[in-house]
Amino acid sequence: MGNREQNTGNSNQLPPHNPPLIKGGSRGGVATRDAYGEALLELGKKRDDVVVLDADLSGSTKTGKFAKAFPERFYNVGVSEQDLIGAASGLSLTGKLPFASTFAVFETGRAWEQIRQTVSYSNLNVKLVATHSGITVGEDGASHQAIEDIALMRVLPNMTVIIPADGIETKQVIEAIADYYGPVYVRLGRAKVPVVMPEDYKFNIGRAYTFHTGKDANIIATGIMVSVSLKAMEVLKREGIDAGVINMSTVKPLDNDAVIKAAEASGLIVTAEEHSIVGGLGGAVCEFLAENHPVTVKRIGIRDTFGCSGHPDELMKLYGLTPEDIVKTIKEALNK
Amino acid sequence: MTPISTSRDIAFLKEQARAVRIEILKMLTEAGSGHTGGSLSAADIVTALYFYKMRHNPKDPKWRERDRFILSKGHAAPLLYAVLALSGYFDRSLLNTLRKLGSPLQGHPCSKMLPGIEVSTGSLGQGLSIANGIAMGLKMDGLSSRVYCLLGDGETQEGQVWEAAMTAAHYRSDNLCAIIDNNGLQIDGHCCDVMALEPIVDKWNAFGWHVIDIDGHNMEAILDALGEAETVKGKPTMIVARTIKGKGVSFFEGKVQYHGMAPTREELEKALKELG
């Protein structure tokens, strides 16, 4: 794929339509957007200052659940993302707690300057919760696959950036950011993801969760790449390589202590994100380690290119985001 | 509702507008840069808002029941600073620090640095959306406070303005009154040459707004329009205020080069003589 000429007039050469890889783990997975819809509904029951705004995608972002329960606290602004951010900002200025949702590519791209000038610069209490991030958007193709949103949000002063790994963490994140004053970007996905976080997990903004600290390598992952990394860890273990996995759900502020500990333990760090290798989690980790504890870092992510149409499973393979890709990267770096 | 204006009110407001213009010119000269033309063109409108129409309390800038003013055309910051200082939000001596390092009077308004600024602005086209959100929130809380939003005419070339225009009409935000400072000029020249805006009144009518077309330097007309806006139900109001860029200083009036240029010391002296 990526070379359309090859396929012209010969549909037999198109990749086979495989069954989905990302359909839930042993404990049954949900898409983080579905968990968001439920969390928002619960939050709306608890707090009457919660208001929700959407830009004609409430069925997909799952804010529709809140809209149905609390129509007087829901605003659909139509297909107008810039106005979405402005209206959410205005509501926050009257003491409301606005959640503004649409697809990640439109929220952070189309309305980036509104977020910069109004939300971030005035440090407003606006929660930007975007869905359909990354290439697992799938068939809609590159126009709808946000692969630069972490970078776009991370560069803004006052902004907190969170990418939950599963449904459990998504619910915790929504509760946590409701109790925190300031702009927050939460990055959610369309596809189902396996449950990876423990039942008794408690999310704290800025604190990573370490599943295991490895002596040979440590994988710092975020979002859906946490479950992929855990699978890689198991494969490596069978081959006698001790790799650790850290869920860095808050990319900004980065959990510096967790990164240092991992770097001290192994000397090889691998970052894993369903995002460009430029400016996202990999960028954040490299920036921090280069200044504070230089070690070898390998970045797993989309290698400075656009996505394309396909099944999420096919795209994860095409762009090198599978457990096998992580295993190969670590083994190569360790010369094993 | 504010009481019916009297001739004494009008005389007072005209005098205030003169004082506001003097402060604008002085601070811009001291700063050596900034936006003269668009600060002077909207001076009468904003004076009428701060010294007559709006409920606000300089001693309690975050008063919950205050009326809100959003300066969407953030480059008219000198005008906003002048009315805030003369209202008593901060000491007048601060005006001399405009645009200087360490000053809360930033080149464009920053809400984190100065009391009385509702939200930071400066990038055009964003204020009306913010005003919409505030209007929604106030209604939700059952407050009768009103929201005023000042836009430049050139600013309405921004697409977001029209997104916000639809939203305000859709949500029937009758507690929102926007004003266009229709001075006909933008940085690169006459609006009609750069990117034609007319028919402005018809456009806002078509977008479902109550539109009032006035002379933006006639204080009686300004007060009448602001009063009329309060009586409109189920629709936001747009006051299209026909103004003159640089109004009040003959040699700045209608001159496009004074959009983003401060007066020299000599020009200030001449201007102050004109203003009396």
Q: Where exactly are the structural domains of chain B?
A: 7-275
Place of tokens 């790449």: A225
Q: Which residues pair with A126 in a beta bridge?
A: none
Residues A260 and A214 in one domain: yes
Place of tokens 């529709």: A64
Calpha distance A100→A123 (Å, rounded) = 15
> Of chain B residues 208-227, which have a CB less than 8 A from chain A?
none
Q: Tell me if residue A162 falls in helix, strand or coil.
A: strand
Residue A182 with chain B: CB contacts under 8 Å: none
Residues A184 and A304 in one domain: no
Domain B7-275 has CATH 3.40.50.970: yes
Return the CATH number at A122.
3.40.50.970
Residues A116 and A45 in one domain: yes
CB-count exposure of residue A16 (10 Å: 0-12, 13-18, 19+): exposed
Q: Which of A167, A181, A189, A164 is nearest to A250 (CA)?
A: A164
Number of domains in chain A: 2
Compare A52 and A10 and report the one with higher pLDDT. A52
pLDDT at B3: 59
The verdict on ipTM greater than 0.90 is: yes
> Of chain A residues 86-125, which have a CB less than 8 A from chain B?
86-96, 98, 113-114, 117-118, 121-124
| Inter-chain touch A90–B130, beta carbons under 8 Å | yes
Please compute, for residue A77, the number of CA atoms within 13 A of its CA located in the half-sphere on the CB side: 28
Q: What is the 3-state secondary structure (H, E, C) of B159-183?
A: HHHHHHHHHHHHCCCCCEEEEEEEC
Residues A280 and A328 in one domain: yes
Please report whether residue A12 resides in a domain.
Answer: no
Spell out the alpha helix ranges (H) of chain B: 7-31, 37-41, 43-48, 77-87, 127-140, 159-170, 191-194, 200-206, 219-231, 265-275
Residue B134 with chain A: CB contacts under 8 Å: 90-91, 93-94
**B165 in A contact zone (CB under 8 Å):** no
Phi/psi at A58 (5° precision): -65, -25
Residues A218 and A281 in one domain: yes
Residue A245 has pLDDT above 50, yes or no: yes
Please compute, for residue B61, the number of CA atoms within 13 A of its CA located in the half-sphere on the CB side: 17
Residue B122 with chain A: CB contacts under 8 Å: 117
Cβ atoms of A100 and A88 within 8 Å: the answer is yes
Residue A117 with chain B: CB contacts under 8 Å: 120-123, 126
Residues A63 and A161 in one domain: yes
> Of A161, A193, A225, which residue is a domain's last?
A193
| Inter-chain touch A87–B130, beta carbons under 8 Å | yes
| Inter-chain touch B130–A73, beta carbons under 8 Å | no
CA-based nearest distance B163→chain A, Å: 6
**B159 in A contact zone (CB under 8 Å):** yes
> Of A193, A218, A249, which residue is a domain's last?
A193
Residues A141 and A229 in one domain: no
pLDDT band (50, 70, 90) for residue A15: very low
Please provide the average confidence, as pLDDT, over all residues in chain A.
93
Question: Is the alpha carbon torsion for B167, B125, A108, A287 positive or negative?
Answer: negative
User: Which entry of A38, A81, A148, A332 is annotated as an active-site residue?
Assistant: A81
Mean pLDDT within A142-148:
97
**B136 in A contact zone (CB under 8 Å):** yes
Please report whether residue A6 resides in a domain.
Answer: no
A129 CB-near residues (< 8 Å, 6+ apart): A36, A61, A99, A100, A101, A174, A185, A186, A188
Cβ atoms of A275 and A148 within 8 Å: the answer is yes
Residues A188 and A214 in one domain: no
Domain residues for A242?
Answer: 209-333
**A83 in B contact zone (CB under 8 Å):** yes
Calpha distance A189→B54 (Å, rounded) = 46
Mean pLDDT within A167-184:
98
Calpha distance B262→B26 (Å, rounded) = 9
pLDDT at A336: 80
Q: Which of A329, A327, A310 is nearest to A318 (CA)?
A: A310
| Inter-chain touch B133–A113, beta carbons under 8 Å | no
Facing B134 at nearest CB: one of A83, A93, A121: A93
Residues A179 and A309 in one domain: no
Q: Quick one: which H or E segment has residue A283?
A: helix A281-292
Facing A117 at nearest CB: one of B126, B131, B163: B126
Tell me the pLDDT tens digit for each residue of A63-100. 999 999 999 999 999 999 999 999 999 999 999 999 99
**Omega into A16 within 30° of 0, i.e. cis?**
no
Residues A156 and A25 in one domain: yes
Residue A292 has pLDDT above 50, yes or no: yes
Facing A96 at nearest CB: one of B118, B135, B137: B137
Residues A94 and A234 in one domain: no
B102 CB-near residues (< 8 Å, 6+ apart): none
Q: Give the chain A residue whose CA is nearest to the CA of B136.
A: A91
Residue at A53: amino acid letter: L
Please report whether residue A165 resides in a domain.
Answer: yes
Kindly give the confidence (pLDDT) of every residue in chain B, 276 residues in length, as a single tens digit, with 9 standing for 90 and above.
Answer: 555 678 899 999 999 999 999 999 999 999 999 999 999 999 999 999 999 999 999 999 999 999 999 999 999 999 999 999 999 999 999 999 999 999 999 999 999 999 999 999 999 999 999 999 999 999 999 999 999 999 999 999 999 999 999 999 999 999 999 999 999 999 999 999 999 999 999 999 999 999 999 999 999 999 999 999 999 999 999 999 999 999 999 999 999 999 999 999 999 999 999 998
Provide the whole-model pTM.
0.94
pLDDT at A2: 38
Residues A69 and A172 in one domain: yes
Residue B163 with chain A: CB contacts under 8 Å: 77-78, 80, 82-83
Residue A269 CB neighbours (<10 A): 26
pLDDT at B5: 72
Residue A49 with chain B: CB contacts under 8 Å: none
pLDDT at A5: 37
Return the CATH number at A218.
3.40.50.920
Please report whether residue A127 resides in a domain.
Answer: yes
Facing A91 at nearest CB: one of B118, B121, B137: B137
Calpha distance A76→B216 (Å, rounded) = 34
Facing B120 at nearest CB: one of A83, A96, A117: A117
A81 counts as catalytic: yes
Cβ atoms of B259 and B35 within 8 Å: the answer is yes
CB-count exposure of residue A142 (10 Å: 0-12, 13-18, 19+): middle
| Inter-chain touch A86–B137, beta carbons under 8 Å | no
pLDDT at B4: 65
